[in-house]
Structure 1
Amino acid sequence: MNHSSVCQPLSLRQSASYFTATATATPLQRSSLAMSVSAAMLLMPLAALAQSTASSPDGTQVRELGEVIVLGKRVESNPNAEVGSPYKARTSGDARHTRPLAETPSTITVLTKTAIDDAGVTDLKQILAAQAGITLGTGENGNAFGDRYIIRGQEARSDVFVDGLRDPGMSTRESFAVEQLEIAKGPNSSFAGRGTAGGAINAITKQATLDHDFTRVSAGLGTDSQKRFTTDFNKGFGENFALRVNALYGDEHVPDRKPAARERKGVAISGLYEVNKDLSVTLDYYGLRTHDTAPDLGAYLAGALPNRVPATDVPVYAQSSDFLKSDVDTVTARINWKLAPNLRLTSLTRYGTSNNGYVTTGASSGTRYNGVTGVGYTTGAIDAGHSGWQEVDYFAHQSNLRFDTTLAGLKNEFIVGVEYTDHKVVSGNYALTNSAAANCRSSNATTAPTGPNNAYCFITPNGTAVTDLANLAGRSATRLGKNQDWRVKTVAVTAMDTVDLSERLSAFGGVRADRFDLDLVRINNSTNVVSGAYGYKDTLVNGHFGLTYKLAKDLITYASASTAQDINGGEADAGTSSGYGGAVLYQNQIAGAKPETSTNLELGTKWNLLDQQLLATAALFQTTKKDVMEGANYDTIGTFNTGKNRVRGFELGLSGDATDKLSLQAGAAVMKSKVLASATATNIGNPLSNFADKSYSLQAKYQLTDAFSVGAIHRYESSRCGGQPDTGAGYTNGTCAQPVPSFNVSDLFAAYRFNKKLDVRVNVLNAFNKDYYTAVYRSGSFLYKGDARSVRVTLNYEM
């Protein structure tokens, strides 16, 4: 039996294709599927072979077999999975991709649930950070709410989608209800709308199915007081209704950073009603509660250029009142309707809310002073804190009509779509009060290093370490009123076609027009007086065009061009902070700028190997972003359409089964970025901020026996330089002012299957306990630290 598969009866809906696949294999080409059947039959209970004997009319003894149950691989609940290859997805969960992934003219990395489970990490930030071509920025705790992703050098924190609909919550995200995770690389506005300059992330969720019933329970324990419990239950009721319930509870201390801790609780409920074979309706609810106590901002940069490096032996300096919380609730209705043999409607409607809040503490290293004597010493000191709250309320509807037809002898797959979204975000911050006495003094150019203490240092002026660092400042937080009310309403129309021009040549073309209406109100949350009201409307038009040529049966090459556009003030969490995607103002007005436009040119190839069990991809690309709006820090004033940057590179990918025993998920990206134009002359020629030139990851699992498998994950990310989004990295005299060192990190895992229902998996994360860092704040006052070594043991049981 291959992989960590579960032996169980096949569903009636899947048994036919199962036996067809098995029967067509030649004796010399026994597929992994056929081998699974052979092994399963050897393990079949004797009771399943019970026989009875009867006589035929002519008196011949006829042996009558009882019910025979074939025990094969676990039937996957993911309809997009490649049968027999657990690390490979065959199709996208987005119905607008009408062809298999191996025939789609763009780079789309797909992580299956099996690959995610084997890796042993659960937050989307951890999962995505391990992928080639993606780096992290400081999100929660810094200059943005929620997790902050950077794809091919471009901001993507607002470009996260769930089942094809934008998820504007900008919160901490979890994978317990995810069936597969799709990362589309390159400008993607023809599919995703505004933004998506570097790509988009689309989480495909677990849906109820009538194919088969199952109950799966997982319980995990580990170092750092880690606990994680999940259930995945699917049950059909009669021929028309199915219910699926996923639930999660988990908590842990951040490895080697106690008292910093993370807690996750969630539930996802999906109900399917199949009216008839042509019409089905699904109603989903998703709820997630995340709570990080004493959220850890890691280390900070110390020293002066050119010797600026991560500080060592930094204790957990989060204050006891610090927190990071996110509450998410969404309801989604789906309709799948086959109106005619060649006409299908898919429709999604979603309403959701998200409530996010954080209070965190940063720190920096340098010379501080005894406030009485003026004697200086080197120590770390906490900053004044970072805070924010956010209430998100959104509605979205998307309908796509697919029409397959033949025109002029050519096969066409037309899609016409409409979308309406209404995203509202109200946000504010907290008043932070320090009740403890300061224990040291900072100095600046206008203040002498003597006098009353005004800072909070890890080491007191008499040279002793602070014993109760979590209460150093005696800090408390009080929520203030709103200081911003942001709203964007959008109506979009999409038209796409995939056409076979010949037996080998196919073309894809898609255009999308988005008409948006942006309103932004800024409020003084001390006086409740409106300090500014801004708004404007515009229409964005984008396209995606590609040609694929079939070199051989399972080998294609392709060329594609795609565009994306973003708007002034399009980042809901940035307000009028022009340096972070907020609105750039001129004469107290937001309008007057062309949209930022990104264009991607790509040449690639995809090869479905080993009877379509392994997909190899390669792509050479260039993305150019022009008309970039530039701002400074958190200022409202900036410049319109003065920036331009470029990213060139190539990516390689591998997913699926290399042999019956070896599964792979791998990727590599080698890229160069460059600022081509800027209102700030010193930025020109610099690389983009938070940009890693090289990155790769490899996840491999080997099936030593039918029951025992081992695996490893290795990832590498080259050094990068911090700074603001969409601009040159911060360099001083040719040296990076806020450097993040390169790193290599390895994980190990192993699994053992006791029987068809029970297996155990052990994960050793950061197996060699490397100190590594994933992102830096623009001032260097915090430097996200990767988790230290941890061990996780997970018991999986299927009823």
Structure 2
Amino acid sequence: MSKNNVFGSTALLSTLALTISAAHANDANSQTNAKTAVEKEKEAIELIEIHGVRNSIYNVRKSGDARRLVDLVDMPTTITVLTKDQIEESGRSDLKEVLSTQAGVTLGTGENGNAFGDRYIIRGHEARSDVFVDGLRDPGMNTRESFSVEQIEITKGPSATFAGRGSSGGAVNSITKKASLGYDFGRVDVGVGSDNYLRAAVDVNTPLTDNFATRINIMTAKEDAPKRDGAERERQGILASGLYDNLEDLKIWTDFYYLNAEDVPDLGSTMVNGEIIEDIPVYAQEGDFLNSEAASGTLRVEYEINDAWKIYSITRYGKTDNGYLATSAGGTTGYFTEEDANDRVNGFGTFTFGSHSNYQDVEHFATQLNLFAELKTGSVEHKFLVSGEYADYSVLNGRYTDIGSIDSPNCWTAGRGGVGQNFCAIDANGNTATNLNNIIDRSQAVKGDFTSDYSYEVSALSFMDTMQVTKDLMLFAGIRIDNYDYSNLTNGRNGEALYEFSDTLTNGHLGVVYEVLDDINLYASYGSATNINGGESDVGGNCGYGGVCTDSQGSANAEPETVRNLEFGTKMSLNDESLFVQLAAFRLTKDDIMEGAGSGYEVTGALNTGKHEVKGIEIAMNGQLTDELSIQISAAKMDSEILESASNPDSVGLPLALFAKESLYAQARYQLTEDFAFGGDVTYKGRMTGGQPDTGSTGPEVPSYTVYNLFATYNFSENLTTRLNFGNVFDKEYYTSTYRAPKFMYIGDRQSIRATVTYEF
């Protein structure tokens, strides 16, 4: 990280803030900005309702991102918001689990297994680098948990005006819990269940004085993957937040976040002769691991200059250390003897083991300054935003060495390396070998040389204006300019190579919203986003997966990939603004795609030669259908097609890899009595096939699946609540993602039962 640039950019943003503040000091002194007693009381009541253990909130009117200046119903874009209560009642905790259920979102694997797992695909577009926390990018592939989250927002369609580079299919933004003067409460959650499940969390918000408050969130959790004994998950986390509020015009929040996740990874099943091996045993070796440790500190400042002008800034510094060593299964043919293997006779279907490892050390700094203004020009009312941002991300990737080899071969196999001795996990009679978890000695594994040293530094400026032209007509216009410096020192099969370039990206968003009836809007929008060559930080010079891509002469100079989205829809706020409904039709076109040469392993490919399109419809509902019935529903029906390809012309006309044409998620909660509520959720994902990003689907098929979950809650008192979660009610074995070869066929969670007791004090 460049310290001069960090401190220089911070000083620039701070100077801008102080200049604006000084210019309006007289106005500020003449204004009375203190909240009235009535306003304070109303805020306290609302917050108590949100955090009381007897309540469950599914309805959301506003985004938690301070830059989103209007209600969700007035935004000319598709945003799905998941509340803390929805997430808790579903029984899910990791961000990957939460997002895997959502319509229009699928999971991916990656070369080398990418066991970090946080690879999201939104509307067919890679989004693994488009994960944000409170509006700042959260780089890297670390494990992410929901214990510290107030709500999760999934933006669909290009989001570059807010997010910057990437974000071509959308972005994910988690809104964290913050300290508040508005309430004084403590909450303890303790859960136990099948598969050695244990989870405990504490959330305490305390006003210390009239001006200071603190909030502490602590979580610890441990479990075996449901019905996958030997695959384990363990989490410990803390979020400590503090607030200073002068009760007039200034608020300052600070927080510290820490999460340590230690798993024994399970890379799932594989195929033998085109058939998925069902009920495959957990074959993870002793010594396999998936560890992620993240720590960050954040400073937020909100200053009301006067009734019309406000400043909000956020600054974060963080580090994550991630690493995994995982075992995969590869379907193959086993032979009794070397002669049989050479002659390809007397073979039997089986699977053998592969080893996959990676480490990733991430350091990130980002600061963002936002100036808000509510102005009027003639009869037009403006909500105006100027936002400046500086960020510096560095990611060091590498692999582990001395990861062990098979100690006790029991068969012969024939592969790309020829005929050799191997270990066949299934014998000729279809029986699983004994001692399956001790075939490879992992005890000597150590970090090896780096494979890529990635750095991305950016200064950005954006302008947004929401214009209330008439009582019924609203316009939105936004533009963002990103000036970046990129470098990536790769260390691959052909030695080290340094790639460096700089560029300026310009993206915009135009939208119009027309209110045809009270709280029923029609909207149209057009937005763009750009992806840079080598923008994915985890793959170095792997052109086929978003790493640096060169042409046959070794040049990495390329135009950015461009995504354009045209969207039409309607949004409604019904039932006295307690039910939100949206329907959208969209078309996403991606041009100038960097294409891998076909193998996916090499840096050489084709620059700006690919093109594809995704189009579809999406519907979403959340809130109160009746006083007793809360719902959250999202459904998508999409089509994708490769339109142009120089590297893989046979893929033209094919759908995208890891793309589900139909998907549905529905969660409902019914309050039967004052103390008893029950509900559940269902997830449906249509079939999809494996492959690389932005390529045609030519890999193994992931079957469609439908999974049902149930929950029930009972309030014993004003302060004590219990909840029972019954996961995967019918114990369905299903698969969430695959690779372009069936070495990774990720298995979704099997049946589980969990009971949680919540006490508020």
Task: Give the alignment's TM-score, normalised by structure 2.
Answer: 0.91
Counterpart of 1:420? Answer: 390
Name the SS for the 1:454 alignment partner.
Answer: strand
Q: Does 1:366 align with 2:332?
A: yes
* Match of residue 495, structure 1, among 454, 463, 477: 463
Aligned partners of 1:367 and 1:376 also within 8 Å = no
Q: Does 1:315 align with 2:277?
A: no
Cα distance, 1:475 vs structure 2: 3.8
Counterpart of 1:201? Answer: 172
Q: Does 1:162 align with 2:128?
A: no
Counterpart of 1:794? Answer: 756
Counterpart of 2:50? Answer: 76
Aligned partners of 1:139 and 1:145 also within 8 Å = no
In the aligned structure 1, how far is the partner of 2:262 from the partner of 2:392?
27
Residues 563 and 166 of structure 1, relative CA distance in 2, 3 Å threshold: same
In the aligned structure 2, how far is the partner of 1:257 from the partner of 1:101?
41
* Match of residue 725, structure 1, among 669, 693, 703: 693
Cα distance, 1:72 vs structure 2: 9.8
Cα distance, 1:383 vs structure 2: 3.0
5 Å matches for 1:246-645?
Answer: 246-293=217-264, 295-303=265-273, 308-372=274-338, 374=340, 376-431=346-401, 432-434=403-405, 436-444=407-415, 447=418, 453-460=420-427, 465-476=432-443, 477-523=445-491, 531-586=496-551, 589=554, 591-631=556-596, 632=598, 633-645=600-612
Cα distance, 1:386 vs structure 2: 0.6
In the aligned structure 2, how far is the partner of 1:469 from the partner of 1:681?
43
- Unpaired runs of 5+ residues, structure 1, are 1-11, 22-69, 731-736
Cα distance, 1:509 vs structure 2: 0.3
Cα distance, 1:84 vs structure 2: 8.5
Aligned partners of 2:50 and 2:56 also within 8 Å = no
In the aligned structure 1, how far is the partner of 2:296 from the partner of 2:713?
35
Cα distance, 1:742 vs structure 2: 0.3
Residues 301 and 245 of structure 1, relative CA distance in 2, 3 Å threshold: same
In the aligned structure 2, how far is the partner of 1:135 from the partner of 1:793?
29
Counterpart of 2:633? Answer: 666
Name the SS for the 2:437 alignment partner.
Answer: helix
Cα distance, 1:677 vs structure 2: 0.5
Counterpart of 2:205? Answer: 234
Cα distance, 1:340 vs structure 2: 1.5
Cα distance, 1:235 vs structure 2: 0.2
Deviations 1:724-747 (A, max 9, x none): 0011111xxxxxx41000001000
In the aligned structure 2, how far is the partner of 1:13 from the partner of 1:338?
12
Counterpart of 1:147? Answer: 118
* Match of residue 747, structure 1, among 683, 691, 709: 709
Name the SS for the 1:689 alignment partner.
Answer: coil
- Unpaired runs of 5+ residues, structure 2, are 1-33
In the aligned structure 1, how far is the partner of 2:382 from the partner of 2:581?
27
Q: Does 1:688 align with 2:656?
A: yes
Q: Kindly provide the amino acid, as one letter, of the partner of residue 496 in structure 1.
A: M
Q: Does 1:675 align with 2:645?
A: no
In the aligned structure 1, how far is the partner of 2:111 from the partner of 2:545?
14
Residues 414 and 445 of structure 1, relative CA distance in 2, 3 Å threshold: closer
Aligned partners of 2:226 and 2:749 also within 8 Å = yes
Residues 524 and 652 of structure 1, relative CA distance in 2, 3 Å threshold: closer
Moved more, 509-518 or 376-385: 376-385
Cα distance, 1:19 vs structure 2: 8.9
Q: Kindly provide the amino acid, as one letter, of the partner of residue 481 in structure 2.
A: A
Q: Kindly provide the amino acid, as one letter, of the partner of residue 322 in structure 1.
A: D
* Match of residue 212, structure 1, among 179, 183, 187: 183
Q: Kindly provide the amino acid, as one letter, of the partner of residue 455 in structure 1.
A: N
Task: Give the alignment's TM-score, normalised by structure 1.
Answer: 0.87
Aligned partners of 1:141 and 1:360 also within 8 Å = no
Name the SS for the 1:508 alignment partner.
Answer: strand
Residues 335 and 426 of structure 1, relative CA distance in 2, 3 Å threshold: same
Residues 141 and 713 of structure 1, relative CA distance in 2, 3 Å threshold: farther
Name the SS for the 1:430 alignment partner.
Answer: strand
Counterpart of 2:619? Answer: 652
In the aligned structure 2, how far is the partner of 1:142 from the partner of 1:748?
32
* Match of residue 735, structure 2, among 773, 776, 782: 773
Deviations 1:344-384 (A, max 9, x none): 11100000100000011111223111235626343433333
Larger Rg: 1
Counterpart of 2:154? Answer: 183
Deviations 1:274-330 (A, max 9, x none): 13421011111000000102x111111232xxxx33212311111112110000001
Aligned partners of 2:326 and 2:355 also within 8 Å = yes
In the aligned structure 2, how far is the partner of 1:109 from the partner of 1:550?
21
Q: Kindly provide the amino acid, as one letter, of the partner of residue 49 in structure 2.
A: V
Q: Percent identity?
A: 43
5 Å matches for 1:10-159?
Answer: 16=38, 74-76=48-50, 86-138=57-109, 142-143=113-114, 145-159=116-130
Cα distance, 1:96 vs structure 2: 1.3
Task: Give the total of aligned pairs.
Answer: 718
Q: Kindly provide the amino acid, as one letter, of the partner of residue 572 in structure 2.
A: W
Counterpart of 1:57? Answer: none
Residues 209 and 589 of structure 1, relative CA distance in 2, 3 Å threshold: farther
* Match of residue 702, structure 1, among 648, 653, 670: 670
Moved more, 686-695 or 587-596: 587-596
Name the SS for the 1:405 alignment partner.
Answer: strand
In the aligned structure 2, how far is the partner of 1:97 from the partner of 1:20?
22
Cα distance, 1:242 vs structure 2: 0.5
Aligned partners of 1:648 and 1:671 also within 8 Å = yes
Name the SS for the 1:114 alignment partner.
Answer: helix
In the aligned structure 2, how far is the partner of 1:98 from the partner of 1:127?
26
Q: Does 1:783 align with 2:745?
A: yes
In the aligned structure 2, how far is the partner of 1:738 from the partner of 1:397?
43
What is the root-mean-square deviation in Å for CA atoms of aligned residues?
2.3
Deviations 1:544-602 (A, max 9, x none): 11000011111111000000000000001011000000001236755321100000000
In the aligned structure 2, how far is the partner of 1:550 from the partner of 1:85?
30
Q: Does 1:762 align with 2:724?
A: yes
* Match of residue 245, structure 1, among 216, 223, 228: 216
